[in-house]
Structure 1
Amino acid sequence: MMSIAVRVKELDELARQQQPIESNPSSQADRVFRIDTEFEDVRLMLRRWQAACIDGVLPPYEELALGSVGRFADELAVVRLSEGHAGFILRAGSRFCSLADIAEASVSLSVLPFAVRRAVNDAIDLARLAARPYLTLCRSIIDGMVSTMEVLALPLSCRWPGEYFLIFARPRKSQVDLARLLINSTDEGILALSPLEGVGTAPRDYQVLSINNAAARMLGAPAENMRLRLLSEVSAAECLARLLDQRSRNRSQGPAVPSLELEYDLAGEAISLQVGVVETDGLLAVTLTDVREIRNREVLFRSLFDDNPVPMYVRHLATGVFLNVNAAALHLYGHDRAAFLALDIRNLEPNSAARVGSSGERFARHRTASGAELDVIEYTRAITVGGQPATLSTIVDVTERKRAEERISFLAHHDPLTGVGNRTTFSQEIEEAVATAVAGHQPFALVLIDLDDFKAVNDTLGHAAGDSLLIETADRIRRLLRRTDLVARLGGDEFAVLLRGALSRDDVQLLAGRIIQAIAQPHGYEGHKLSIGASLGAAIAPVDAREAGTLLKCADLALYRSKREGKGTFHFFEPEMDAEMRERRELELELRAADFDRELELHYQPIISLRSGGLRGFEALVRWRNPRRGMVSPAEFIPLAEETGMIDAIGRWVLEEACRRAAAWPQDLIIAVNASAVQFRQGRFAETVTQALAASGLDPSRLEIEITESVLLADTGANLALLERLKDVGVRVALDDFGTGYSSMSYLRRFPFSRLKIDRSFIRDIGSSRESMAIVRAIIGLSANLGIDTTAEGVETGAQLELLRQERCGEIQGFLFSPPVDSVGALRIIDSYRSDESKVA
């Protein structure tokens, strides 16, 4: 049995899944564990373990191990941990011994196979930490099948010294034979062999670790009968063992040839094989190719030479001059017959020295009439022509095969779209670079690059446009780097650059600025000018980190700072960034645990009509009163809620609360509620709105949903359809922060908004900037022509108010009238305006 370790990431996922849950909070005895086992009797074992827990004390060893789970004894082991000593298996059932590949039922854990030992130790460590059962997995190859084995550790109490655990092991039912499926899909024989040195003068032998059906047919035995047997034990395979043994002895006299020839009789039939051998870590990968057809054609050369589809020629042994050639060879090399027969072998091989295999085949590079080069294998046989020694050559063109191999090798280390390094190459390079830097030889910088607004290009123009942009971006980055540097695409729109050498921070910052500028340059695609940006973060090794994973985390924190502070920016890692991220995680946990009804509250900012001077309604703004932190700014928790997906639940609460409050106001007042693009992506926003209206009894015409252009940048068709559903219900829709996006005008043509809200950045400078004044005037004029209301946000001075009045702006909102207030304050404002309807007039 061969065992394969499960990745730590998979164990972490198991740990997250195996959290205790309360099936009945009022009864500790009903507590169960969500452990991902496929066996019902294992769940019974867990219930028995749970039932044996009294007052939080682990079940006694004597009661559980010797009593209630005795039926599982064959699959159990008892493990004791003693301080300062490795874990020890006191006793184990026969099935457990078989799965763990141990001959004795009382051994140290250290003798277990690595993967089993790791799974057992992980299960014990987790169970020990949580004081409850834990399940881990390991992969095992049992009878040639990949099987997943469950390893369950149950902690016990005991009156004897040490800590005691019951370890249960059982393979799951499902098994996978991936290797067999793959290697049996080819007609080429494939074997994996383990060389065994002979004793004394005895020759080497080879154990068959794996063999496909094609190889088994060539060697005359069923595949299942040959696995884990010696080649010498199978009559037809014995000659292969001798051939490989001879190859091993010949290696001391020179480099090994890439292929060998093998001929033998099998059930009265002559078998002729080409044998390829690749050695890795002491194991041999052997390929068997049936070349009998080629050999037969050589034997029948006189009758079949001219019409043979395989390129063939005859050359003089001493001079290499060509004496004959068939049509296939003329076609391959592009010569006519007279021209070819005027050549010799040196004309075909002007720049390469052929390598000769053990069976006489030659591996060479030939040149055609057009100058193209071909990789060929030349099989030769000595013949006599006109009494003179000559060579009959059969040519196999392996150019495409070599190109395919080179392409496969390239794709294993490069991104297929952009041609830069892939994540695999990047991981290898950064590990080596960190090791070199830590040794004090060569510090280096790691720069992470994330493209800004790339998703908008994909969503609006399609993936072909996005791919074109990624290819151009990778090329622009590559042109800015030195030959010693590495650029890799980590996935999506994220790139990484590894800058080798002792670069100063100023040098790195200068390069980062050049990368930002290069990426920001417009890119042409089918008549479109595509413009994106890039945010960059960098970390220096070994100053910032001495491990590859930690260095990546540092650069990622710097990148996060850049994206948070604005597009097209660059930051180096700073130690406080780690603290900020930890603080952000704590805030996220507190937000997830928040009681919305107690901690969230709505504040209301009045919307004033400039035409009538009266109160038009309020915009609802959510606030979070954290029990530990006090009032948390929406600028902190709203982006966090959007990133984590919690905005959907918060938005639902805001809608329900706002509609409930507004239903108690005078019937002519509206309530405006902001909606996030993330809420639209959830796909349930329309239902959330209609449910809030139904629950509150609020007239749909009194509800106004405010969206930003980010809602329309993603999945525009679906989101426009959702807005149409809201409008059909009677809900008003306003476009917030108008004028700050990319394609505002196109949205106005595609959807009849009820209102445009002029961004406060234009209102702030309206008295001092001609450009801001012109933009405000244009928006108000455009809205009037389209029959759309306008609201100016952020009005703080009388001068701004007067200018907006002159421009005939419809409504205003800002601190000049009132900051956002709580629900009691909103009622006071309503009462105030009801007693004096000309507040602004």
Structure 2
Amino acid sequence: MGILSVSKDVAATAALSRDSLVFLDKNDLKVIHINPAAKKQLADAQSVLRAGTEIKQFLAYLAKNGEFSDGDAVGSVRQALASISSASQADLPGFRLGKAVFTWHCDAGPGDTIALVLRDGGKAQELARALADHKIFIQHLIDVLPIPVYLKNRDSVVTRCNGAFAELFGLQVDDVIGKKLIEVAPDSLAKTIAEHEKPLLIAEGQVRDDISFVLDDKERAALFAASSLKGPSGSIAGTIGSLVDVTSLKKAQAEVAEAADRLTGLLESAPIGVGISNRETGVFQFFNSTFAKMLDLEEEKDPTDSILLSERYRQQSLKDMDMVGELHDVEIRLRRPQMAEAKWLKTSLEPLSFEGEESVLWWTSDITKQKHAARELQNKANNDELTGLANRARFMQKLEQCENVLRGTNTPASLFILDLDGFKNLNDTKGHAAGDWLLTETSKRLKRAGRRAEEVARLGGDEFTMLFINKGREKEMCEIAGAILAELNQPFMWKGEDCGVSASIGFSVFDGGHCDMNEQLRRADKAMYQAKAAGKAQYCLYTPELEPELHHD
């Protein structure tokens, strides 16, 4: 039997999670993958929590080094092992390890695996704050709806409602929240709603029906609608319902349309792109103008989320989203046929029930400018601003990389240093504008003549350098030096006048795997000064004879 492993897509998705994720082989309960968050948060236990170890070793480590919330380490570990072995969804006993307090649970993972999800206390507090913000958002959302709306928990206690629902019974919102529906609504209405909602508490679903009840001694007819409401853990936490008095249906329809417009307006005015796509078909059911402009959807009919994700990656992402709850800050490079240039987008995905269907909510922002700015900063850090060539810092990094890559080989290499003859006189007589033009023109000629070079750089002033890897030894490099010299010694014409500038070149040839690049750079510099001393406008190959005091026996 081969060793079980998770796919690259699952591993990549798990790496995005802020929670610790550990995947086990369902057959032998051995660890097969740990995401980066787990490696960091559980670093002290890495000796017993790595690929190939049994989860029993980790549990034994927790029994010895951890502190369980109920105080019974042995009993907690046994309970955890039993839950994990059953390969079913279950919350596991919380524990403290060092300064971190963890809550965790197990569930079926992708393929034939078991997934362990651990969350530290700090993140739990963050989630609690996010949940509180979500509850405030839900309250504001239902407050703008003109129809009676309520949220109930599994015990039939009203946890949220709007003013319209409270006014239905002649009460204020605060008089309704926290009470069971039977305490505020007529018995006939409370019992009818309870009967309709009973299956919704067992399995996720929806119900719509025409119901009748007596209120203020008058027979009322209403259109009742309710659906299951999921909690943060994904289990059914209650129901959300609404009542519409169908005796004034036309008015209600107008109010619903107005509320929908107001809700759409809220999303439309959001500063980022918001889209909602059908989970099964991928067709967008809603998107605001920011989203449409960002993805160039204005004139497209029935666009789908395949614009953002390929079908294969979309299906895998949905599975991973279900496993971890949501996917945050996924960066996507988008280039559509009608776009002048590619865009970089950052998007987050989360499951959503929209218009009675399973959907996916996309929060998307355009980060193209940030990407370009980062690239520009990188270019400024690595490139000479005037010529566009590599600068000294980047060239020295290149030398270090080549030294490491070539170490131990017999690969021939060569370093050139070039200095312009007469450059200072040009600056003094014709000005810095002429000098800058000459440096730029020199860089163009070097790129052209030294196109086989691994790197061409400006070290500073009028000094340039080139690195050649595996382009030949002394004979071949002398030919290359001659070709470069011939290119640079062609007249430089500034405003119709010859600048009177030439170049002197010094270079060293050596085995790239047995050298010190800094020493070879010094030797090339020594050879360059020898070329200048010999009359300029020529090249010189470094030989030991140039420094007899360093190479005598």
What is the TM-score normalised by the length of structure 1? Answer: 0.34
Q: Which has the higher contact order (CA 8 A, sep 6+)?
A: 2
